Structure 1
Amino acid sequence: MSRKNTLRGELLAARRLLTREDVAEAATVLAREALRLPELAGASTVAAYVSVGSEPGTRALLDALRARGVRVLLPVLLPDNDLDWALYGGADHLVPAARGLSEPDGIRLGPDSVLDADAVLLPGLAVDGRGMRLGRGGGSYDRVLARLAAAGAHPALVVLLYDDEVVARVPEEPHDHPVDAVVTPAGARRFSV
């Protein structure tokens, strides 16, 4: 088993120990902390995602951004694991999708619509002191990051995590990109990238 997969297993096991109350409380604090980030406070378009299960919760943040008038793009998983995007129209406009995900029921805007984002919230399992992010390993967000790089787009890259998911070192591969900031219930941390 690769070092990445071993670390993923450990982190996912720790998340499975969280209660619904733990997840809900952390989501409220994460939304408050994330909204303090200048990169989100000044954004007109944010590409985000809908958290599932014991992931650090995003729904309160999505609603707060939308209430501020921010254009929130949410991913739609394509059969090849790439991501299309659609506008977030509120929780009542989310529908069940493949792999237990929720996605917006609106018009698909195309994979390149992420290029309009001022900030991109990335799902993750861990980040290290260099800003290197460990994802789940599906490659969807690697494609998004490659698309942004190829277009010369430089939105703020932000990952939401629990406090203990900021680790000493994340194994990395040549295609991995560092993030600009991590938000945990304890607060935000920026990286020099």
Structure 2
Amino acid sequence: MVITVDMPGERDKQAWRTELTDRRAVLSATVQEDEALALAAAVTTLGVREWVCAYVPVDREPGSTAMLDALRAGGARVLLPVTGPPGPLSWAEYTGADEMRRARYGLLEPIGTVLPPDTVARAETILVPALAVDRRGVRLGRGAGYYDRTLAAARPDARLVAVVRDDELVERLPEEPHDLRMGWALTPRGGLRRLGGDSAWE
């Protein structure tokens, strides 16, 4: 079931970002921990056996490094973004929470070899951070454009999965021509949900 929040679809992206960021700011630590555990369990249903691109949640994004550990335990090799100047993201392989370093924007990044942006094409599944995603697959990010530039190099059959809270899966978001739609949403209570009808994955 798609959960609707009380925000009209014509509001611009910045208004959505402000509202959703404010909602996240009041979440309790208990809720965040419960959601992180649920998402760590949910990623095991993705069935990834090769490469997956993921990320380390920050600023009350849902999830934790437990998601990454669960993916690795299931046999996947996990790539995490390495930020640089505005442009496509570079990548490095996640080999454990104890092999991370602090980076810009408060992010954690692997200490291993930095791989070029086109490494994203290895991934059969890409977990994408989002403030919200709508039932058509339109994703709302933070506005820096890193993922918009990065996902253009993903392989055509890659499964693009927006990771959001259950009430961040909404009816309709503002969309711009450059926005790349997600095929799936992953939420703590709802698990993996199909969006729109454009995904090549069944």
**Could you say whether these structures have the same fold, taking a TM-score greater than 0.5 normalized by the shorter chain as the test?**
yes
Match for 2:24 among 6, 15, 26? 15
Q: What residue number does 1:104 align with?
A: 110
SS for the counterpart of 2:121 is: helix
Unaligned runs of 5+ in 2: 1-10
Is the 1:46–1:73 Cα contact (8 Å) retained in structure 2? Answer: yes
Give the count of matched residue pairs: 186
Distance 2:57 2:96 in 1: 14
Give the alignment partner of residue 128 of structure 2, picking from 119, 122, 128. 122
Q: Distance in 2 between matches of 1:123 and 1:112?
A: 19
Is 1:28 equivalent to 2:28 in the alignment?
A: no
Once the two structures are superposed, residues 110-154 of structure 1 have per-residue CA deviations (whole angstroms, 9 ceiling, x without a partner) of 111110001000000111111111111110000111222xxx532
Q: Distance in 2 between matches of 1:80 and 1:15?
A: 25
Partner of 2:65: 59
Tell me the amino acid that sits aligned with residue 190 of structure 1.
Answer: R
Residue by residue, what CA displacement relative to the aligned partner does 1:9-52 show, whole Å, maximum 9, x if unpaired?
Answer: 0000000001222111101111212321xxx3144100000001
Question: 1:143 is aligned with what amino acid?
Answer: R
User: 2 CA distance for matches of 1:158 and 1:118?
Assistant: 11
Does residue 182 (structure 1) correspond to residue 185 (structure 2)? The answer is yes
TM-score, scaled relative to structure 2? 0.88
2: CA distance between counterparts of 1:175 and 1:169? 17
Secondary structure of the structure 1 residue equivalent to 2:72: helix
Segment of structure 1 superposing worse, 40-49 or 99-108: 40-49
Residue of structure 2 aligned with 1:82, choices 88, 95, 112: 88
Superposed CA deviations along residues 148-183 of structure 1, whole A, max 9, x for unmatched, are: 2xxx53210001111110111110100111111111
Aligned twin of 2:164: 161
Task: Name the structure where helix makes up a greater proportion of residues.
Answer: 1
Query: In structure 2, how many angstroms separate the alpha carbons of the residues matched to 1:135 and 1:66?
Result: 26
Letter aligned with residue 90 of structure 2:
D
SS at match of 1:106: coil
Worse-matched range after superposition: 15-24 or 84-93: 15-24
Amino acid at match of 1:27: A
- C-alpha deviation, 1:81, in angstroms: 4.3
Structure 1 unaligned regions, length at least 5: none
User: Please, which of 174, 186, 193 is the counterpart of residue 171 of structure 1?
Assistant: 174
Sequence identity percentage = 47
Tell me, in whole angstroms, the C-alpha distance in 1 between the residues paired with 2:16 and 2:40: 26
Could you say which residue in structure 2 is the equivalent of 1:48?
A: 54
The AA in structure 2 aligned to 1:80 is P
- 1:63-74 superposed matches below 5 A: 63-74=69-80
In structure 2, how many angstroms separate the alpha carbons of the residues matched to 1:138 and 1:154?
25
Q: Counterpart amino acid of 1:110?
A: P
Could you tell me how far 1:74 is from its partner in structure 2?
0.3
* Inter-partner Cα distance in structure 2 for 1:147 and 1:71: 19
C-alpha RMSD of matched pairs (Å): 1.3
* TM-score normalised according to structure 1 size: 0.92
